Structure 1
Amino acid sequence: MPRRIDWSRGNAESFRPHRLRHFVACSSFRASARFRAATTVQTRGRGSMRGVSLWFVATGSVFVTLGMLGGIAMAVSSDHTLAPAHAHLNLVGWVTMALFGIYYHLVPAAADTRLARVHYTIATAGVLAMVPGIILAALERDELLVAVGSLLTLGSMLIFVFTVFRHRA
């Protein structure tokens, strides 16, 4: 009898790609298994990246892609007025979000809290407010949105500091 995938364990040893088709075909929960397979990233040694850690890394990946497109647009046009927005989107949007995701992946006890989901929401809202706010400030229109985004980003970092100290080994 083929070994079934134990999705609840979430470790790399329980995942065998050649057996996934059999599991999905034999399972009465085909839709659920497909959803889990589509929303899980396999990693070595630490199990699957899912939940809030995957949310952070996936959102950061979207932010860095947008940052790269903005950088390319600035290079093509030779207009670097929006360079601060490009830099913040890449650093706060990609680097910080990815580091948060990696931390939550390495410390699952921290990722399984409501505070981690709140942290994701505030961090994402901070980037989504800060970058357009920097664009508006660079174009000398309004600085309120960048102030709101900066405060949300600061709040996100304070939540992270609290989480790190709360879940230290």
Structure 2
Amino acid sequence: MSRLPLLFLASASACLVVGVVLGIGMGIAHDFQLAPVHAHTNLVGWTSLALMGLTFRAWPDLAAGRLAMVQFVLSTGSAFALPPGIYLAAMHDQPGLAIVAGVIWFIGALLFLARLLRLAFRHDQAGESGAP
């Protein structure tokens, strides 16, 4: 079985830890300027990556092939880059990294959707392996 689902979940968990630490720090300081960074770390990083990993685990065919690794790299790379990009945009009026990371995230999400649809509409029954 592919380790890709675990790689997604490990990346998601790293984002969870960063998001929690950021949230605790904001709470202690009573300064919530970085709330969008915190929210995107949790939503894009923890939630989305975890759901992708669990989806790859439930349908092992998704983890097969080179495109699966491409989607992992695009998704995790952009999930890690987006929160610092949002920080730079909000605090230093430098939106470049947020824009690039957002576009790469979108490409990764489209690739995920395309691969899911391809599996869902495959004519042979092999696409059902691992399906709950």
TM bracket, shorter-chain basis: 0.7 to 0.9
2:20 paired residue among 68, 79, 82: 68
Q: How many residue pairs align between the two structures?
A: 121
In structure 2, the residue matched to 1:123 is: 75
| Misfit runs of 4+, over 3 Å | none
Where in structure 2 are the equivalents of 1:13-24 lying within 5 Å?
Answer: none
**Given the alignment of the two structures, is residue 164 of structure 1 paired with residue 116 of structure 2, yes or no?**
yes
Equivalence for 1:95: 47
Post-superposition shift, 1:110? Answer: 1.2
List gaps (5 residues or longer) in structure 1: 1-9, 11-49
Structure 1 Cα separation of the partners of residues 36 and 56 of structure 2: 28
So what's the TM-score if we normalise by structure 2? 0.88
Partner secondary structure for residue 139 of structure 1: helix
- Residue in structure 1 matched with residue 124 of structure 2 by the alignment: none
Q: Amino acid of the residue matched to residue 130 of structure 1?
A: L
* 1:98-109 map, 5 Å: 98-109=50-61
TM-score, reference length from structure 1: 0.69
Partners of 2:51 and 2:65 lie apart in 1 by: 18
What is the alpha-carbon root mean square deviation over aligned residues?
1.1
Is residue 96 of structure 2 the alignment partner of residue 144 of structure 1?
Answer: yes
Q: Which residue of 1 aligns with 2:7?
A: 55
Offset of residue 140 of structure 1 = 3.0
Q: Match for 2:51: what amino acid?
A: L
Q: For 2:77 and 2:103, how far apart are their aligned partners in 1?
A: 10
What is the one-letter code of the residue matched to 2:104? L
The residue type paired with residue 156 of structure 1 is G
d(CA) in 2 for partners of 1:167, 1:52: 17
Which residue of structure 2 lines up, in the alignment, with residue 79 of structure 1?
A: 31
The structure with the largest alpha-carbon Rg is 1
The separation in 1 between residues aligned to 2:49 and 2:79, in whole angstroms, is 10
